[in-house]
C-alpha cells in the first residue's frame, strides 16, 4: 500500500511534469514546423516600419493590450461578429483605447499562411512583431519564446475592466498589474514603452482643463508643459488631435520618458503616478543614473514576463486562419 502510494505520487509527479512541459512556451517553437516563421515576421516589420515608423509603437501597445485581456492569445485582433463569443470584441472597447496596426498583423498572417498554413498563431505574431518593432526604433531585443495559441473569445467588457485607464493612480495601476502577475518594477519598466508613440488629447485633456471639475489643471503637471499641450489640445472635447508622448524623441526608444517624468512632464496621470510612490521613484532615478543598456536589459526581461501572461499552449485554443476571426 505504502509502495503503491509512493509510486502513485511519483507517477502523478511525472504526469504533472509532462503536462507543464507541454504547457510551456519555448524558444524556436516553429523551428521544425515553420522554420522561416520568425524571419518572415522580422522582414515584414523591417519593410513596413521603415515606411511608417509610428506603427512600431502601435504594435508594441497592441501586445500589451492583448496580454492584459484573457492573456496573450490574439483576442485583441478579433472583429465583432454575430457569434456570442465575439459579439462585442475587445476592438470596440472604449474609443479612447485607439489601437492601430490591425492591418499590419493581418498582412504578416497572410504571408505565414502561404508559407505554412495553420501553424503560426496570431498571438505569436503579435509578440514577435512587438519585439522586432522595438528593435527597429533603437530599443532592446528580448527573447520571445513561442507556442502561444489563439483564443476564441473576445469581450469588450473584459477589455474595459483589465486595461488600466490613463487616469489611474499608482495604487490602481499596481492592482491592474498585480492581476496579471506583474509587480511594481514591471509597472515602471513597461510604462517605459511610452518613450515611443502618441497620445490623443482625450486621454489627458482633463489634466489641462477640468481636473477636479472646477475648470482647473492637474497640479502634478508642469505649468509650462501644460501651456504647450493646450496649444495643441484646444478644448476638453478634442478627441481627434494627438501629441507625441515623448516629444523630440518619439521614434527613439530611450530613457527620455523617465527624464520627463521627473520633470513633471509625463503625459498621462498614470505616467505622473509613477513618481508618487517612493520606491518606484527611486527605481526611476536608478534607471536614469545607469547606462541606457541597463534599462534595455531590464525592459527586455519585463517584456518577456508580460509575454507569458495567461498564455494558452498545447491543445488549448486554436491556430486561427485569419487573425480577425475565429476558425
Task: Using alpha carbons, select from 199, 186, 206 the residue that is nearest to residue 274.
Answer: 186
Cα torsion at 268, 293, 42, 62 (round to 10°)?
-20
- Residues 176 and 190 sit within 8 Å (Cβ to Cβ): no
- Beta carbon of residue 2, minimum distance to ligand NAG (angstroms, whole number): 40
Give rounded-to-5 percent helix, strand, coil for the chain: 55, 5, 40
**212 annotated as a binding-site residue:** no
Residue closer to ligand NAG by CB (options 81, 252) is 81
Between CA 196 and CA 324 the distance in angstroms is: 26
Binding partner selected for residue 100 from ligand HEM, ligand NAG, none, CB under the kind-specific 5 to 8 Å limit: ligand HEM
Please report the beta strands in 5-150, taking only residues with DSSP state E, as ranges in sequence order.
none
Set of cell numbers at residue 133: 518593432
Site membership for ligand NAG, residue 239 (CB under 6 A): yes
Residue closer to ligand NAG by CB (options 71, 256) is 71
Place of cell 505569436: 124
**314 annotated as a binding-site residue:** no
Set of cell numbers at residue 99: 489601437
**Which position's Cβ is nearest ligand HEM?**
197
Binding partner selected for residue 194 from ligand HEM, ligand NAG, none, CB under the kind-specific 5 to 8 Å limit: ligand HEM
Set of cell numbers at residue 80: 465583432
Binding residues for heme b: 194
Residues near ligand NAG, by CB under 6 A: 79, 83-85, 87, 91, 94-96, 106, 152-153, 155, 157-158, 166-169, 172, 183-186, 202-203, 206, 210, 213, 236-237, 239, 305, 322, 324, 326
Binding residues: 66, 69, 71, 73, 75, 90, 164, 194-195, 246, 254
Catalytic residues: 65
Amino acid at each position: 500500500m505504502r509502495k503503491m502510494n509512493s509510486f502513485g505520487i511519483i507517477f502523478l509527479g511525472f504526469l504533472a511534469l509532462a503536462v507543464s512541459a507541454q504547457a510551456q512556451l519555448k524558444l524556436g517553437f516553429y523551428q521544425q514546423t515553420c522554420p522561416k516563421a520568425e524571419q518572415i515576421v522580422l522582414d515584414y516589420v523591417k519593410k513596413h516600419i521603415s515606411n511608417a515608423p509610428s506603427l512600431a509603437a502601435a504594435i508594441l501597445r497592441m501586445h500589451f493590450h492583448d496580454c492584459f485581456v484573457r492573456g496573450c492569445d490574439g483576442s485583441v485582433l478579433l472583429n465583432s461578429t454575430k457569434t456570442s463569443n465575439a459579439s462585442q470584441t475587445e476592438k470596440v472597447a472604449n474609443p479612447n483605447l485607439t489601437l492601430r496596426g490591425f492591418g499590419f498583423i493581418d498582412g504578416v498572417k497572410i504571408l505565414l499562411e502561404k508559407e505554412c498554413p495553420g501553424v503560426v498563431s496570431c498571438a505569436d505574431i503579435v509578440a514577435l512583431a512587438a519585439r522586432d518593432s522595438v528593435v527597429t526604433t533603437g530599443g532592446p531585443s528580448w527573447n520571445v519564446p513561442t507556442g502561444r495559441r489563439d483564443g476564441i473569445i473576445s469581450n469588450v467588457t473584459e477589455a474595459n475592466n483589465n486595461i488600466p485607464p490613463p487616469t489611474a493612480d499608482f495604487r490602481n495601476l499596481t492592482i491592474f498589474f498585480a492581476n496579471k502577475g506583474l509587480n511594481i518594477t514591471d509597472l515602471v519598466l513597461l510604462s517605459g514603452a511610452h518613450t515611443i508613440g502618441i497620445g490623443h488629447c482625450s486621454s489627458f485633456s482633463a489634466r489641462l482643463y477640468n481636473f477636479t471639475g472646477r475648470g482647473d489643471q492637474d497640479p502634478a503637471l508642469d505649468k509650462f508643459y501644460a501651456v504647450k499641450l493646450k496649444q495643441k489640445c484646444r478644448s476638453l472635447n478634442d478627441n481627434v488631435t494627438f501629441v507625441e508622448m515623448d516629444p523630440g524623441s518619439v521614434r527613439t526608444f530611450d530613457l527620455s520618458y523617465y527624464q520627463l517624468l521627473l520633470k513633471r512632464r509625463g503625459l498621462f496621470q498614470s505616467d505622473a503616478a509613477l513618481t508618487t510612490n517612493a520606491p518606484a521613484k527611486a527605481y526611476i532615478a536608478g534607471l536614469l543614473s545607469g547606462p541606457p543598456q541597463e534599462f534595455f536589459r531590464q525592459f527586455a526581461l519585463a517584456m518577456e514576463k508580460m509575454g507569458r501572461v495567461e498564455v494558452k499552449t498545447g491543445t488549448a485554443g486554436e491556430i486561427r486562419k485569419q487573425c480577425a476571426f475565429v476558425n
